[in-house]
Chains A and B, each alone.
Chain A
Amino acid sequence: MKNLDTKPVALSIKKIIKENDATNTYVFEYKLESRPGQFVMMWIPGVDEKPFSISYDNGEEFWLTVCKVGPATEELFKLKVGDKVGIRGPFGKNYEFKKGEHLALVAGGYGVGPMFFVANEAMRQGCKVEFIIGARTKNLLLFTHKILGLKDVNLHVSTDDGSMGVKGYNTQILEEILAKNKIKHVFACGPERMEKRVGEISEKYKVDCQMAVEKYMKCGFGVCGQCAVDDTGECVCKKGTVMNWSYLKKLSEFGMYHRDAQGKKHYF
């Protein structure tokens, strides 16, 4: 660890962007120096502290895009501009790519956040990007306008019910893109079962595939052991959260189950 101090840093919320009914983006003015795919632990004082992936970082400010999914995020949504939270991090590994490469990004649901950060960075590095987003229905799609504003980024949309874009799954769009283009890397973030499919498709087309995996976390720095995966026993917060499909496909728990704060298994 470069920096041995992992005390939280108190930061004021600079801006809150409402993405949809259940999703907000929180903007903080701070030199976080994060890379796309990394995460922070956000402490909602007096409530709880949870891991969140970073959806944007330009060196001056960073964003956390948060979906209201439980009691902690419920409380977070009550905070206003100027209120303070504690931030620890950045932690974890980032997506890896080089200048000028052709990338395919696959985002499921709120997985669009970290993919947006990748797209921005890729744009700066002169990459060409196919950005594939999917959701159950139109209202749950995130960041469409923001993505359309990016140069050299092609947006592809799928919805389960066909209310916008292709009716079906984002993985179907990925397959078409991989069949027609010479893609260097596939990056994904979303539900594990979507990611498993993304991994299989990428393997079929022999394309490098890196995906961020979400597990229950407490410390974020590889000590508590809460996010250790079967059967390697390595911590997702250290080994990942961005990991290669070649590693993920060997995990017996990937796409099968996750563990809670007590270490008990829950099947998907």
Chain B
Amino acid sequence: MANLEVNFCGVKFKNPTVLASGVLGVTAASLRNVVKNGAGGVTTKSIWLEEHKGHKNPVMFGTEHYFMNAVGLSDAGFEKAEKETFPDYMKNKPAPIIANIVAYKLADFGILAEKIDKLNPDIIEVNISCPNVEDEFGKPFACSVVDASKVTKAVRAMTKKPVIIKLSPNVLNIGEIAKGCANEGANGFTAINTVGPGMAIDIDLRMPILTNRVGGVSGPAIKPIAVKCVYDVYKATHLPIIGTGGILTGLDAIEIMMAGARLVGMGTMVYYREVSGFGKVVEEMADWCDKNGVKNLEEIIGCVK
């Protein structure tokens, strides 16, 4: 059987699937359950310095083709990560953990990075691209080369751990933005965050379904956008990438790896295939590799020119 082990920024993953930030992952037990179901690694929900209320329900729904959410980054704040989530997860750590951090002020990213570093996550993922808090905080940092680079610099200054930046697809120049972050010391990227924001209206009630009115679009419909963004970022930087966006099957995973992804993030997949989908995706990847004579995933990462 093919070896699905992947090295990402010096961290060894037993397979390339990781839980994307924002799905499950409210507690350490939930993260452990995702690993138990086959994931090679997990990403926490976005951690804020202080407690942050999300939006009111409805915050998500799905259709056959796409999924929408505007949870609004609800979180109990750093204190819970420090006192509960990390200590619980680190006891017999089952797989690498990526700490996802978020802030609305540049200075807070630095403060948070310094604190998170001490909890000893394997990787720090910086969320500068959530599309459903724009009413609160304006356009995401990921929409400008200057802002994205500044955040990267602030985080880089506070930690020696691998820092990866979660990029937005909702830009015209994702490659340029990635380059800007790379110049400030980013070790890699997660591409992409959700698309949009989009809007869905209940025509009987004549109002948007999501309380936030708009929300990030994910699911099968966005896969081509994710694959293209990963391709652009890989071409621009050749740094390690977690490819995420509409990945539901092992074949989807292989596809985004060919575009340049080294790990494959999955979140909305849980809606379509339940949490046990992680193990199924891994099996499907192994099957494909075996049938196609691929012995090591290094052979396919970024193989598409």
CB distance from A88 to the nearest CB of B (A): 7
| Surface stretch bound by A, among B73-81, B155-163, B176-184, B233-241 | B73-81
CA–CA, A220 and B205, complex, Å: 21
B53: chain A residues within 8 A (beta carbon): 261-262
Q: Does B62 contact A (CB under 8 A)?
A: yes
- Is the beta-carbon distance between B63 and A264 smaller than 8 angstroms? no
CB distance from B84 to the nearest CB of A (A): 8
Contact size range, A: 35 or more
CA–CA, A88 and B84, complex, Å: 33
> How many A-B residue contacts, CB cutoff 8 Å?
132
- Is the beta-carbon distance between B204 and A10 smaller than 8 angstroms? yes
Q: Does B171 contact A (CB under 8 A)?
A: no
- Is the beta-carbon distance between A49 and B57 smaller than 8 angstroms? yes
A229: chain B residues within 8 A (beta carbon): 29
Contact size range, B: 35 or more
In the complex, the chain B residue whose C-beta lies closest to that of A253 is: B29
- Is the beta-carbon distance between B27 and A228 smaller than 8 angstroms? yes
Q: Does B23 contact A (CB under 8 A)?
A: yes
- Name the 8 nearest CB pairs between A and B, nearest first: A233-B33, A10-B204, A233-B29, A49-B57, A225-B24, A228-B30, A233-B30, A263-B26
- Is the beta-carbon distance between B271 and A262 smaller than 8 angstroms? no
Interface of chain A, main secondary structure: loop
A231: chain B residues within 8 A (beta carbon): 29
CA–CA, A229 and B200, complex, Å: 31
CB distance from B270 to the nearest CB of A (A): 5
Q: Does A5 contact B (CB under 8 A)?
A: yes
* Additional A-B contact list (13), CB under 8 Å, known A225-B24, A263-B74: A4-B63, A6-B63, A43-B57, A48-B57, A84-B204, A86-B202, A88-B61, A223-B24, A223-B270, A225-B27, A225-B30, A231-B29, A233-B29
Given contacts A46-B207, A263-B26, contact A228 B33 (CB under 8 A): yes
CA–CA, A46 and B200, complex, Å: 15
- Is the beta-carbon distance between A264 and B32 smaller than 8 angstroms? no
CB distance from A221 to the nearest CB of B (A): 7
CA–CA, A84 and B207, complex, Å: 12
B57: chain A residues within 8 A (beta carbon): 41, 43, 48-50, 218
A49: chain B residues within 8 A (beta carbon): 56-58, 211
Q: Does A82 contact B (CB under 8 A)?
A: no
- Is the beta-carbon distance between B29 and A263 smaller than 8 angstroms? no
CB distance from B95 to the nearest CB of A (A): 13
23 A-B pairs with CB atoms under 8 Å apart are: A1-B271, A1-B272, A6-B62, A8-B58, A8-B61, A8-B202, A41-B57, A43-B58, A45-B205, A48-B56, A49-B57, A50-B57, A86-B58, A222-B270, A223-B23, A223-B60, A225-B23, A229-B29, A232-B33, A233-B30, A233-B32, A238-B274, A263-B45
